[in-house]
Amino acid sequence: MTETDHDELLDHLREAAGCSGLAVRKAARAVGQLYDDALAPAGIKGTQFSLLAAVGLTSKTSVSALADSLVMDRTTLSRNLQPLVRAGLLKMAPGRDRRERRVALTEEGRSTLRTALPLWRQAQARIADALGEGRAARLRGDLAWLARSVLVKS
Amino acid sequence: MTETDHDELLDHLREAAGCSGLAVRKAARAVGQLYDDALAPAGIKGTQFSLLAAVGLTSKTSVSALADSLVMDRTTLSRNLQPLVRAGLLKMAPGRDRRERRVALTEEGRSTLRTALPLWRQAQARIADALGEGRAARLRGDLAWLARSVLVKS
DNA sequence: TGGCAGTATATGTATATGCATCTAATTGAG
DNA sequence: CTCAATTAGATGCATATACATATACTGCCA
């Protein structure tokens, strides 16, 4: 490898520092911390809050349908449900098929959500404070658009 | 629980569907897939590409310094380095301290990066296509701002 | 100089993530 | 009606993620 090759690689790496994927993951880590900290008194993580809320919004969904709505692999969701079922916040019931399993909140799950909601609102407000409400809303829109377009194309 | 309580919970959950944390994680999953698919011929994931590039940009960093620059927990980075060291793309060398360990690319790591760079550029271009170059750049800026503000505050 | 506070990294445990693959159940073509 | 293709979900494996804690080392102060 010559000196020139090495300098050229450095230039390319500087370009790669502007990676959109890295920007999204960095933000996801930082923001994840914020929500996790805020929700800790309720005993759940940000990921689990979203999952409980998604189940609560769509009564008795199948695992696959839920996974699609969360832009998540079915098998990932299948595993993510387990800690919440174990904790008694979610329950699984048989669906129309004998293959299908429907997910629903337990009473304890609803109770946890009620505890978590004001905590979540605080975290959400911190995000809005950091960016301003307008930029925060625009950001959510761009992220949603991005998730949708990327999936459609592949 | 009364009917009214239940309806009220539903209203709150509809509000929670606008969670910024969820929006970021959804996008991170979708975008992660895109980069992973694009980089597959190089034998690395998007996360690993970013890690190799970050190491290449800062010659001989400590683990902690690298973790900070990636908005990542030190212990997470410690583990994420292992597969890349095992694969021969990174090497660890002693630092000034006998506690510190410095991370550097191997020749094979540089070679892998050269293979990966055009693949990465394709994925990056797909993102720009999906949003338009201007919005994509703005999005990266907002995400970086968000990551920075959230960290500073806590 | 001896020990303690602080620093750098690694490890134990738990969740999150996805691909390849497996099992079970359903559906559809012949 | 039978069997292959499809569908729903779970599991094996590997990586990603972070907190609590352990380990090793450094530096400072009494």
Residues 6+ apart with CB under 8 A from A98: none
Residues 6+ apart with CB under 8 A from A106: A88, A89, A90, A91
Residue A54 lies in a domain: yes
Question: Could you tell me which of A18, A23, A153 has the C-alpha nearest to residue B38?
Answer: A153
| CB B39, CB A29: distance < 8 Å | no
Q: Which of A27, A128, A154 faces B143 most closely, judged by CB atoms?
A: A27
Quote the number of domains for chain B.
Answer: 1
Residue B24 lies in a domain: yes
Find tokens 């980089």 and name the residue.
B39
Q: What are the structure tokens assigned to A112, written together?
A: 């946890």
Residue A88 lies in a domain: yes
How does A118-151 read in b/e, with b if 16+ C-beta sit within 10 Å? ebbeebbebbeebbeeebbebbbebbbebbebbe
pLDDT band at B2 (very low <50, low <70, confident <90, very high): low
Determine the structural domain holding residue B107 and report its residue range: 20-153
Chain B residue numbers touching A24 (CB-CB < 8 A): 24, 27-28, 31-32, 143
Residue B11 lies in a domain: no
Question: Which tens digits make up the pLDDT trace of B53-83?
Answer: 999 999 789 999 999 999 999 999 999 999 9
| CB B113, CB B105: distance < 8 Å | yes
Residues 6+ apart with CB under 8 A from A24: A143, B24, B27, B28, B31, B32, B143
pLDDT over threshold 60, residue B1: no
Any CB–CB contact under 8 A between A125 and chain B?
Answer: no
Residue B15 lies in a domain: no
Q: How far is it, in rounded angstroms, from Cα A89 to Cα B70?
A: 34
pLDDT band at B89 (very low <50, low <70, confident <90, very high): very high
Question: Which tens digits make up the pLDDT trace of A42-97?
Answer: 999 999 999 999 999 998 899 999 999 999 999 999 999 999 999 999 999 999 99
Residue A8 lies in a domain: no
pLDDT at site B40: 97
CATH of the domain at B29: 1.10.10.10
Residue B3 lies in a domain: no
| CB A48, CB A79: distance < 8 Å | no
Residue B90 DSSP class:
E
Question: Could you tell me which of A4, A9, A24 has the C-alpha nearest to residue B52?
Answer: A9
pLDDT at site A74: 97
Residue A7 lies in a domain: no
Provide the CA A132 to C1' D23 distance, Å, integer.
44
Element (H, E) at A102: strand A101-105
Chain A residue numbers touching B26 (CB-CB < 8 A): 70-71, 143-144, 147
CB proximity A99–strand C (7 Å threshold): yes
**Which residue type occupies B149?**
S
- Is B34 buried (19+), middle (13-18) or exposed (0-12) by CB count in 10 A? buried
> Could you give the percent of chain B with pLDDT greater than 70?
95
pLDDT at site A34: 97
Residues 6+ apart with CB under 8 A from A144: B23, B26, B27
Question: Which tens digits make up the pLDDT trace of B7-59?
Answer: 788 999 999 999 999 999 999 999 999 999 999 999 999 999 999 999 999 97
**Which residue type occupies B93?**
A
pLDDT over threshold 60, residue B96: yes
Ramachandran sector of residue A61 (left: φ over 0; alpha: ψ -120 to 50; beta: rest): beta
